[in-house]
């Protein structure tokens, strides 16, 4: 599998290649200075400098079974990862931005991180508790988790709006995966899409005006790899979406917050179709 780490320039409407590698990499985040991308691959975490693109491993201590749910704190000082090394299932940890030993945040597993509140105090994540998926939050220092929603058939990908007023996520009802939003306390649940596509991983833009997401064709269950998918944008207040680009990918392409800090760019990963 060949991975293509790329940037999409919204103003120019074009894709900018960053790195091609035979390593399966996933889920790019930006550092707040806009100079570096963070990706995972083969259970490890890497930084990719835009000045000299390459995979530079980040020290994550004993955590060596990372999945693609990771990110950077609003102040740029801390990394958050989801890793299965110690518990055999995904658990959330934080560590210094430069690398180091991870500090366990969630007591319960599995937990998959997806959003960091703009004030830096709270983490939002998807979790399975007693076979039921839900959206949860927890203080960045750990402690007791709060369940915000368990009312949908499946849910994933919670991400905050830049003002902290809403949490967007994807959730299924009657087999249809759509985008939803709710207040940070779980109130005012609103369905934001009603489309034939299966919609995943909404990411509000830094200016709060639009939401980027990944759309599978109708009938696809879950968020598998190796599909022709579209990246789409919709107004943050709701309304028709528009396609930005089509790529071969899915799982790993757009799982976590991926906007450049100034909102002019976003990062994603595409993959080479087998046999091509």
- The CATH number covering residue 90 comes to 2.120.10.30
Coil, helix or strand at residue 174: coil
CA–CA dist 215, 201 (Å, integer): 9
Q: Which tokens is 134 given?
A: 């839900």
Query: In Å, what is the CA distance from 208 to each residue of 165, 174, 191?
Result: 10, 29, 18
- pLDDT value of residue 234: 98
Residue 6 and residue 260 in contact, taking contact as beta carbons nearer than 8 Å: no
Span 202-216, average pLDDT: 98
**Domain-embedded: residue 120:** yes
170: CB partners within 8 A, 6+ apart:
155, 156, 157, 177, 178, 179, 180, 199, 200, 201, 202, 213
Burial (Cβ within 10 Å: 0-12, 13-18, ≥19) of residue 108: middle
CA–CA dist 32, 263 (Å, integer): 11
Coil, helix or strand at residue 130: coil
- pLDDT value of residue 275: 61
Report residue 55's pLDDT band, with 50, 70 and 90 as the boundaries.
very high
**Domain-embedded: residue 212:** yes
**Domain-embedded: residue 221:** yes
- Decide if pLDDT at 125 tops 60: yes
**Domain-embedded: residue 276:** no
Determine what percent of the chain is predicted with pLDDT higher than 90.
97
- Decide if pLDDT at 221 tops 90: yes
CA–CA dist 246, 229 (Å, integer): 6
CA–CA dist 94, 74 (Å, integer): 13
> Does the CA dihedral 8-33-211-137 come out positive or negative?
positive
- Residue ranges making up the domain that contains 51: 3-271
* Ramachandran quadrant class, 226 (left: phi over 0; alpha: psi -120 to 50; beta: rest): left
Report residue 274's pLDDT band, with 50, 70 and 90 as the boundaries.
low
Residue 123 and residue 138 in contact, taking contact as beta carbons nearer than 8 Å: yes
Span 24-39, average pLDDT: 97
121: CB partners within 8 A, 6+ apart:
139, 140
Residue 245's closest CA among 16, 2, 3?
Answer: 16
**Domain-embedded: residue 83:** yes
Note if the bond before 110 is cis, omega within 30 degrees: yes
- pLDDT value of residue 166: 98
Instruction: Please spell the DSSP secondary structure of 184-240, one letter per residue.
Output: TTS-S-EE----SSEEEEEEE-TTSSEEEEEEEPTT--S--SSEEEEEEEEETT---
The mean-pLDDT minimum among 45-49, 106-110, 223-227 falls in: 223-227
Residue 44's closest CA among 75, 70, 18?
Answer: 70
How many structural domains are present in the chain?
1
**Residue 144 DSSP symbol:** -
- pLDDT value of residue 276: 57
């Amino acid at each position: 599998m060949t991975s293509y780490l790329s940037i999409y320039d919204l103003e120019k409407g074009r894709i900018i290649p960053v790195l091609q590698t035979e390593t399966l990499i996933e889920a790019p985040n930006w550092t707040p200075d806009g100079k570096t991308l963070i990706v995972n691959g083969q259970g490890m975490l890497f930084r990719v400098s835009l000045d000299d693109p390459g995979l530079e491993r980040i020290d994550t201590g004993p955590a060596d079974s990372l999945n693609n749910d990771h990110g950077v704190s609003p102040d740029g000082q801390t990394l958050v990862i989801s890793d299965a090394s110690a518990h055999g299932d995904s658990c959330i940890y934080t560590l210094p931005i430069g690398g180091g030993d991870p500090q366990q945040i969630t007591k319960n597993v599995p937990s998959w991180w997806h959003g960091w509140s703009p004030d830096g105090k709270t983490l939002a994540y998807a979790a399975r508790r007693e076979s039921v998926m839900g959206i949860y939050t927890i203080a960045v220092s750990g402690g007791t988790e709060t369940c915000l929603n368990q009312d949908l058939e499946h849910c994933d990908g919670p991400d905050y709006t830049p003002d902290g007023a809403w949490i967007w996520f994807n959730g299924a009802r009657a087999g249809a995966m759509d985008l939803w939003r709710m207040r940070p306390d779980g109130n005012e649940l609103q369905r934001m899409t009603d489309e034939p596509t299966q919609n995943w991983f909404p990411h509000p833009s830094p200016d709060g005006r639009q939401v980027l997401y990944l759309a599978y064709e109708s009938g696809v269950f879950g968020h598998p790899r190796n599909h022709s998918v579209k990246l789409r944008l919709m107004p943050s207040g709701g309304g028709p979406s528009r396609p930005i680009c089509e790529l071969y990918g899915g799982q790993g392409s757009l799982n976590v917050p991926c906007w450049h800090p100034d909102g002019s760019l976003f990062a994603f990963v595409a993959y080479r179709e087998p046999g091509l």
